Amino acid sequence: MTVEHAARHPCLQLSTLRSHVRHLLGKTQAPSLMQLLRWTGSAQAPLQ
């Protein structure tokens, strides 16, 4: 889902979503949102 698509949700604003993405990229030092998604998608789930 794109940021713009997610912003169509009644409770979300596009500017808020972009701000969250920008903060996540800064904290993780990821070069792009796509790279961050790749990293999180490749993380292993904890064993139960």
Would the pLDDT of 41 be above 70? yes
> How confident is the model at residue 28, as a pLDDT?
93
Q: Give me the pLDDT at residue 43, please.
A: 63
- The residue ranking higher by pLDDT, 9 or 44, is 9
Q: Residue 48, CB half-sphere, CA atoms under 13 Å: how many?
A: 1
Would you give the end-to-end CA distance of the chain in angstroms?
Answer: 29
Q: Residue ranges per domain, the chain?
A: 3-44
- What is the C-alpha R_g of the chain? 13
Residue with tokens 């701000």: 19
Looking at the whole model, is its pTM more than 0.85? no
Q: What is the per-residue pLDDT for 27?
A: 95
User: pLDDT tens digit string along 6-35?
Assistant: 767 777 788 888 898 899 999 999 999 889
- Give the single-character DSSP code of 11: T
